[in-house]
Amino acid sequence: MSKITLLYSLVFGIFCLQSLIQGCLGEMVNRQLSENSNFKVKAVNLGGWLVTEGWIKPSLFDGIRNKDLLDGTQIQLKSRYIGKYVSAESGGGTILVANRTSASGWETFKLWRIDENTFNFRVFSNQFVGLQSNGVVAEATNPGHSETFQIIRKPDDTSRVRIQAPNGQFLQAKTQDLVTADYGGDGGWDDNNPSVFVMTILNGSLHGEYQVTNGYGPDKAPQVMMDHWNTFIVEDDFRFISENGLNAVRIPVGWWIASDPTPPKPFVGGSLAALDNAFIWAQKYGIKVIIDLHAAPGSQNGDEHSGSRDGSLEWGKTDQTIQQSVDAIEFLTARYAQNTQLYAVELINEPQSSGVALETLKDYYQAGYNAVRKHSSSAFVIMSNRLGGGVDPKELFRLASNLQLTVIDVHYYNLYSDMFNTMTPQQNIDYVNQNRSSDLSYITTSDGPLTFVGEWVAEWVARDATEGDLKNYANAQLQVYGGASFGWAYWTLKNVNNHWSLQWMIQNGYINLTN
Ligand SMILES: *[C@@H]1O[C@H](CO)[C@@H](O)[C@H](O)[C@H]1NC(C)=O
Ligand SMILES: *[C@@H]1O[C@H](CO)[C@@H](O)[C@H](O)[C@H]1NC(C)=O
Ligand SMILES: *[C@@H]1O[C@H](CO)[C@@H](O)[C@H](O)[C@H]1NC(C)=O
């Protein structure tokens, strides 16, 4: 009997005595059986399903009007007349000027979309541009009517815009010292019209759940999302998963699922019914389910996959964001605790160390753990390590080691760092065999939490890679991540980018888990 198995027995023993729940003994036996057979998760993520990621399925955004102007899109405005960029002086808190020859932070505005033509402009220091008694200023903390502008695009050149203020007048830069809202006429699109600006849209716009639902708006979004949920992942995918050597799915969900069918705007209801279906299919095909709170209120990392509106990270900065997250965890656990396929609940995905304090996260993990345990003694509780430089991958060990059936989730991508840009295929493989292997060994201990490589992919930036290289790279990762004591999960099942699609990788012979 391993130390871990012994621990389970003790925990369940105590739980049985305490709760006198019928069937608890059976659960204990099951757990021991799975331990004894060294059950490990070989999972695939169902990414881009219940939490939208545009790069996984770009066509989901096709029907949005002005789809290049979604929430969080960053724009810069250059006055044709002055020949200089508009800037929120001091980054915000005061006037707008048009005196910058080059553009960076203060000259960049993040859009909050009201409808396809109507927007708020958020400045560097997070205030919103508005029309106040003292003119056009970036002073408002929350946008209201005074902060609401129309962007009118030139029909045959959509980078030319005029911006209508709430007083009906257009913004103009008559001089470089001040932007005002007092251009009344329709002066056409001439370069010497001081109300014409050239709008540059910065690369890297967010394409997440907020963008897609708010982009379609309340009339169209419910149907579009329903169609997506009903077609992107279907029962047959669970058959495919079960027939190809996988035994679990990790399903990213958003916090709004807990208030289905009437989630806060712009999110729309229906993802809960889709998750219910996943459990039915999982049961039918003997697949275990890991629920993963991938998008937390306010966003825990500013990425599109956290449901962020504009890239800000607000999670953990108010008690409300924590409480809503705990509530979502409790709601989901309570709903599926009696389902035999519920295997684990991941409390939050990829909190970012630059914005989420360790103490805040630990408090949340404790509260989230308690919420799971209120309803399930047997579900594993997964805690994602923080992303970011300088994080000790064991920073959650003290907390996790004192709790039962806990798992630390780490994500390994040979991407997102310049270091990989110059690596050859073989160097990538060596990196997996040496560095990832030692990273994983460091956290895989006999007395600590279990370890889970909850995201990895056989994608890389290596040039001149052959088919054989790619197979070797995938196999090296399978070998090394097979050493994680809880298991691993490929990111993701389906993706228009082939290497990111485990379905494609299996169907094309790059990955074979059945032998
Ligand atoms: C832009 O205009 C503002 C307001 O007149 C002034 O304070 C600032 O120094 C100017 N900046 C540049 C780069 O000219
Ligand atoms: C944006 O992306 C396009 C296409 O990939 C590229 O040509 C352009 O240089 C990028 N612009 C910036 C500012 O990075
Ligand atoms: C990877 O591991 C090798 C061998 O242990 C080591 O020399 C190298 O510095 C490591 N690379 C990084 C980026 O940590």
Q: Which ligand neighbours the alpha carbon of 435 most closely? A: 3
Write the residue with the smallest CA distance to atom 4 of ligand 1: 177
For every residue of 201-263, which 3-state class applies, written as one string? ECCCCCCEHHHHHHHHHHHHHHHHHHHHHHHHCCHHHHHHHHHCCCCEEEEEEEHHHHHCCCC
The pair of structure tokens assigned to 53 is 């990621």
* Pocket, ligand 3, Cβ cutoff 6 A: 434-435
What is the C-alpha separation between 178 and 94, in angstroms, rounded?
Answer: 11
Atom number, ligand 1, closest to the C-alpha of residue 100: 13
Burial of residue 292 (CB within 10 Å: 0-12, 13-18, 19+) is buried
Question: Distance, CA 195 to ligand 1 centroid (Å)?
Answer: 20
What end-to-end distance do the CA atoms of the chain give, in Å?
28
Residue pair 457/491 in contact (Cβ under 8 Å)? The answer is: yes
The pair of structure tokens assigned to 196 is 């014409």
What is the C-alpha separation between 436 and 434, in angstroms, rounded?
Answer: 6
Q: Which amino acid is at 367?
A: A
Sign for the pseudo-dihedral over CA of 466, 471, 472, 477:
positive
Count CB-CB contacts under 10 A for residue 48.
25
Long-range contacts of 387-396 (CB under 8 A, 24+ apart): 387/301, 387/350, 387/351, 387/352, 387/353, 387/411, 388/352, 388/353, 388/354, 389/353, 390/353, 391/353, 393/439, 393/442, 393/443, 394/442, 394/443, 394/448, 395/358, 396/361, 396/362, 396/365, 396/449
C-alpha distance from residue 190 to each of 82, 109, 199 (Å): 13, 24, 15
pLDDT of residue 389: 87
Can you give the pTM of this predicted structure? 0.92
Residue 402 CB contacts under 8 Å (≥ 6 apart), including other chains:
none
Q: Which ligand neighbours the alpha carbon of 442 most closely? A: 3
Give per-residue burial for 162-181: e unless 16+ CB within 10 Å, then b: bbbbeeebbbbbbebebbbb
- Return the SS3 of 38: coil
* Pocket, ligand 1, Cβ cutoff 6 A: 89, 97, 99-100, 177
Question: Distance, CA 374 to ligand 2 centroid (Å)?
Answer: 50
Q: Which domains does the chain have, with CATH numbers?
A: 29-58+207-507 (3.20.20.80), 73-201 (2.80.10.50)
Write the residue with the smallest CA distance to atom 12 of ligand 3: 435
Strands 41-45 and 118-122: unpaired
Question: Distance, CA 203 to ligand 2 centroid (Å)?
Answer: 6
Residue pair 457/500 in contact (Cβ under 8 Å)? The answer is: yes
Mutation to probe ligand 3, out of 428, 434, 441 (largest number of atoms < 8 A from CB): 434
Atom number, ligand 3, closest to the C-alpha of residue 419: 13
Write the residue with the smallest CA distance to atom 10 of ligand 3: 435
Residue identified by tokens 């399978």 is 478
Q: Which ligand neighbours the alpha carbon of 437 most closely? A: 3
Structure confidence by residue, pLDDT tens digits, 380-409: 999 999 999 899 999 999 999 999 999 999
Write the residue with the smallest CA distance to atom 1 of ligand 3: 435
Residues of the chain under the 50 pLDDT cut: 1-8, 10-34, 36
Mutation to probe ligand 3, out of 426, 435, 442 (largest number of atoms < 8 A from CB): 435
What is the C-alpha separation between 189 and 197, in angstroms, rounded?
Answer: 9
Nearest to 195 by CA among 203, 183, 204: 183
The upper half-sphere exposure of residue 10, i.e. CA atoms within 13 Å in the direction of its Cβ, equals 10
Structure confidence by residue, pLDDT tens digits, 299-322: 999 999 999 999 999 999 999 999
pLDDT of residue 37: 54
Mutation to probe ligand 1, out of 177, 178, 179 (largest number of atoms < 8 A from CB): 177
Write the residue with the smallest CA distance to atom 12 of ligand 1: 99
Question: Distance, CA 511 to ligand 2 centroid (Å)?
Answer: 33
